[in-house]
Each structure stands twice: as C-alpha cells, then as structure tokens.
Amino acid sequence: MSCMLQYLYHDLILVENQIPWLVLEHLFNKTSATQSTQAEETTLAHLALQFFANIFSSNALNIDTPYDGTKHLLDLLRNWLVKSSGNDKVDKTGWEPIPSATDLVDAGIKLKVGDSKERSILDIKFNNGSLEIPSLLIQETTEVIIRNLISYELCSLKCTDRITSYVVLLDNLINTTKDMDIFTSSGIFNNWLNPEEATQFFNKLYHDAFLKKYYYLELCQEVNKYCQRRCPRWHALLMRNYFGTPWAIVSMFAAATLLILTIVQTIFVEILSCHEN
C-alpha cells in the first residue's frame, strides 16, 4: 500500500508505542545473523535514522553520530536532533519573545536557510543581521513527530527542553500566513500544506507545554537588540519602497535626475541674473 510508509512514520514515533531499545536490537540481530559482513556492519540506529531522516528534510542528512544508552526509537530520534546541533547547554535562565518574521524583515534582518546537511534543524544562528534557520520539511506527519518529541521531553526527567524551545521560537516567528510565505520563499520551509494549515500548525503545537530552560534566549536577545537599531530598518524600508522593482529604480533615477537638472538650472539663472546686474 502506498500509504503504509506514512502509517509507519506515525505509529513508530508515538510515545505510547515505544518498545525498549534492547528488545528492538535483539530482534535486529536475529534478522541480520545470516546477512553478509557488510550488512552486519550497519547498525540498527543507523537504519532507524535513515528511515526517519526524510521526516524533517528532503535532503540527505548526517547520521554518523554514535548514540549510547538509547532507550527507544523516540529517544534515538531526539538524541540525533539534539547532539547533531552541538548546543545542548544554556547559561542563562528566562524567556524573551522575538518579533515575527514580517517584523524582522521590516527591521532589516535577513532570513536565510542554513545548511541542513551539516547541521541539525535545531542549530539556528544569528550573525551580522542574518538569521540562519536550517530547512524544515512540513508535511502531515511533521506535527505528530514534533508533538511526541515534546511529550517525551515533558515525561522524561533527564530530557532538556531542546525540542520545545525550538517550537517556541518558531511559534514566535510565525503568526500569520505572511510570515509563513516569508519562510517558504526563503527556502527555510519546504511546505507541503497550505499556508493557513501550516501557520496554525505552529501556533498550536506546544500548548500546555512547560518550558524549564529556553535554549534560544541569547539568540532572541541579540535579535531584539539588532531590531532597535535604526540604520538597518531605514535601509530595509528604502530598499522595499523605492528599490524593490526595476520600475521603482527607474522612477527614483528619473526623479533624482530631474531634481539635479532643476538645481543646475536655478544656479545658472542666478549666475545670469548676477551678470546682468
């Protein structure tokens, strides 16, 4: 059945369906006992991450990170996302909102797609007025996956709020379909849903979730500080209103030329008047 793959994505990742990793690995070793040496070198974790890799991105992702002490498939998937980001520490406590994507663009901040082949979707960076966000594939199974990852973080005392922080940040950035269009046009989101459904997807994703530590606090503080600067905002306003299209550029050039000629004409008239007097 063509839909069986989607059913597997959905059912295997549910919190209530998790099977101890020890059991899964034992079954895997039984099935691979008669395979070739090359096939035996492929671990269950590697095959599982290959299966789930296309959930978040249509590109081939790095899945070579080793994982020890895996509890189940959901734990494996979360560890892959968190450890691939290379940032599982937070020095400050607290929470600070961030403006929406539309407001960031108006403030002169550029939204760029990060290199998802080398980095986790959690690895969001802000540098020199550019907010880099690795690409994310949004499809029907994405909500189920992220919801269960958040649920697992809430249920496990040893889990940090890494996935929950990621969802909170995206919810701040996406308030309207215009925000979603900005993410889609910039290549950050590969959206298989309509803009309204995708916007609602982020707005209701982490309801009733408790956030102990916000892992993007420093990033939000840097972005908010940059938004307070006037020069980037004026530059963005000038580019959008006066240099956004070729016709606007031609109109500005014509107006500037007309102004210069008028000033030159006025100067010559004044000079001639002085000579006559």
Per this entry, what is the length of the chain? Answer: 277
The strand pairing partners of 126, in sequence order, are: 131
Type of residue found at 117: K
- Do residues 96 and 221 touch, judged by C-beta distance below 8 A? yes
**Residue 218: phi, psi to the nearest 5?**
-65, -40
Give the contacts of 134 (CB within 8 A, at least 6 positions apart).
57, 113, 114, 115, 116, 119, 120, 121, 122, 123, 124, 188
Q: Which of 113-117, 140-144, 160-164, 165-169 has the lowest mean pLDDT?
A: 113-117
Residue 18, phi-psi category: left (phi > 0), alpha (psi -120 to 50), beta (remainder): beta
Q: What is the pLDDT of residues 29-60, one digit of tens each?
A: 888 755 555 555 678 888 888 888 777 775 54
Q: What is the pLDDT of residues 158-204, one digit of tens each?
A: 888 999 999 999 999 999 999 999 999 999 999 988 889 989 988 88
Confidence of residue 85 (pLDDT cuts 50, 70, 90): confident
Top mean-pLDDT range of 114-118, 218-222, 238-242? 218-222
| Ranges of each domain in the chain | 4-85, 101-233, 243-276
Confidence of residue 238 (pLDDT cuts 50, 70, 90): very low
Residue 166, SS3 per DSSP: helix
Tokens of 117: 């082949």
